[in-house]
Amino acid sequence: MTEAESFTFLTAMLQRVFERKDIVATPELTAKDVFGWDSFKQVELIMEIQDQLGIEFTTEEMDNIENVGVLARIVRTHANNKA
């Protein structure tokens, strides 16, 4: 998975979880930038990503997600290691 592919994938995941088509995944995007992104939505987003890719994040990875750029890097690492 390329960097561009990871952001396209995360855009789709964010739009699905938040049921909004106006959200675009960018490296700087954080939970505070998206209305309704609370801890419950964070868990829902992570679960959706894991289900779609057939991967599992570690607790440390989840704790270190400070923005979508970090999340994209974690997704790429898992996707590319799975391939």
pLDDT tens track, the chain, 83 positions: 999 999 999 999 999 999 999 999 999 999 999 999 999 999 999 999 999 999 999 999 999 999 999 999 999 999 999 86
Give dist(CA 2, CA 18) in Å, integer.
24
pLDDT of residue 12: 98
Instruction: Report the C-alpha gap between 79 and 73 in whole angstroms.
Output: 10
What domains does the chain contain, in order, with CATH numbers?
3-82 (1.10.1200.10)
The helix or strand, by DSSP H or E, that contains position 17, with its residue range, turns out to be: helix 3-18
Q: Is the pTM of this model over 0.75?
A: yes
| pLDDT value, residue 41 | 96
